[in-house]
Amino acid sequence: MIRFQQVSFGFADQPLLVDFNLTIEADRTTALMGTSGSGKSTLLRLILGLLQPASGQIYFDGKPLSAEVQTANRLRSGYLIQSGGLFPHLSARGNISLMARQQGWKPQRIEQRISELALLVQLDESLLTRKPAALSGGQRQRVALMRALMLDPDLLLLDEPFSALDPLIRHQLQDELKALIGQLNKTVVVVTHDVAEAAWLADQLVLLSHGKIVQQGSFQQFREQPASDFVEQFLAASRGLPV
């Protein structure tokens, strides 16, 4: 679905990615892991065209990224960031329906879709009249997830979706998200620094360090054949892994 080919990106004195190559398979869940500053969030921004690579090429469904296909690509992508990125001046419903209204959906269709999604993310629909500030952290991320799923995108990009939540809620949402991914059959890319989360959600794990891939494969491969000391250390830093 997504292919990075010889992509370089960075700020003048501080290159983040150098000749980076990665293929993200369609209909699978890929976790991008790494320490902060390893360039993992940058990859999502590059896919959405929020950042432009200095050199190299990114392919979205086989087609190179360009200004002409950018809007279409963004409409096919759902994007969720750590803070939720909900607009504080709009109600939850206003946030969720923003893109659909821009696309000229009929109100009836919008309502129907919102009801479906509320059921899917297990959010009480009566909460949707509230502004984001009047929602709890977990409710906000559920709303943000509904917004990301509104147009039924092919690609779901999740940037540290749960790291701002307390452990109990995080755990619950991780479970729900896994179930949801199982139902939806979409290409999912989740950025996380949490190995447990990556292992729980993703089929394919990618560990980054200083803009380079250290290891790529299933969690089992990571555990049984760590590519380097760094991989071992990174795994060891997360305790209580699911078996």
Partner 1 sequence: MKRLLCLIIVQLWSVQLMAGSGEAAAPVIVGSKNFTESILLGELATQVLKRRGIAAEHRQALGGSRILWNALQRGDIDVYPEYSGTLRFELLASHPGAAELPINELLASAQLTALPPFGFANNYALGMVERRAATLKINKLSDLLAHPRLTVGVSNEFLHRADGWPGLKTTYQLPQRATGLDHDLAYRGLVEGDLDLIDLYTTDAEISYYQLRILEDDRDYFPDYQARLLHRADWTEARADVVTTLGQLSGTLREADISRLNGEIKINRQPVEAVAHQFLTDRLKINTEVEPGSAGRLDQLITRSREQLFMVGLSMLAALSLALPLGIWAAKQPAAGRVILGLAGAIQTIPSLALLVFMIPLFGIGTLPAIVALFFYSLLPIVRNTEAGLSGISADLHETARALAMSPLARLRLIELPLASRMILAGIKTAAVINVGTATLGALIGAGGYGQPILAGIRLDDTGLILQGAIPAVIMAFAVQWGLSWLEGRLPAPG
Applying CB under 8 A, among 6, 23, 26, 50 the residue interacting with partner 1 is: 50
* Residue 122 in contact with partner 1, rule: CB under 8 A: no
Q: Are the CB atoms for 82 and 164 separated by under 8 Å? A: yes
Q: In 10 A of CB 217, how many CB atoms?
A: 15
Count of residues touching partner 1 (by CB under 8 A): 20
Closest contact distance (angstroms) between CB of 196 and partner 1 is 26
Binding mask 89-118 for partner 1 (x = CB under 8 A): x--------xx--x----------------
Please say which residue, 34 or 153, places its beta carbon nearer to partner 1: 153
Please say which residue, 10 or 85, places its beta carbon nearer to partner 1: 85
Please say which residue, 188 or 214, places its beta carbon nearer to partner 1: 188
Sequence length of the chain is 243
Closest contact distance (angstroms) between CB of 39 and partner 1 is 16
* Residue 71 in contact with partner 1, rule: CB under 8 A: yes
* Residue 217 in contact with partner 1, rule: CB under 8 A: no
Unique residue bearing structure tokens 């969690």: 219
Residues between 136 and 155 with contacts to partner 1, criterion CB under 8 A = 147
* Residue 45 in contact with partner 1, rule: CB under 8 A: yes
List the one residue out of 215, 241, 218 whose CA is nearest residue 230.
215
Query: Following DSSP, what letter does each residue of the chain receive, concatenated?
Result: -EEEEEEEEEETTEEEEEEEEEEE-TTSEEEEEESTTSSHHHHHHHHTTSS--SEEEEEETTEEP-HHHHHHHHHTEEEE-TTTT--TTS-HHHHHHHHHHHTT--HHHHHHHHHHHHHHTT--GGGGGS-GGGS-HHHHHHHHHHHHHTT--SEEEEESTTTTS-HHHHHHHHHHHHHHHHHH--EEEEEES-HHHHHHH-SEEEEEETTEEEEEE-HHHHHHS-SSHHHHHHHHTS-S---
Please say which residue, 141 or 215, places its beta carbon nearer to partner 1: 141
Unique residue bearing structure tokens 């946030």: 95
Closest contact distance (angstroms) between CB of 42 and partner 1 is 12
Please say which residue, 29 or 95, places its beta carbon nearer to partner 1: 95
Closest contact distance (angstroms) between CB of 217 and partner 1 is 29
* Residue 133 in contact with partner 1, rule: CB under 8 A: yes
Please say which residue, 37 or 217, places its beta carbon nearer to partner 1: 37
- Provide the binding-site residues for partner 1, judged by CB under 8 A: 45, 48, 50, 71, 74-75, 77, 79, 81, 83, 85, 87-89, 98-99, 102, 131, 133, 147
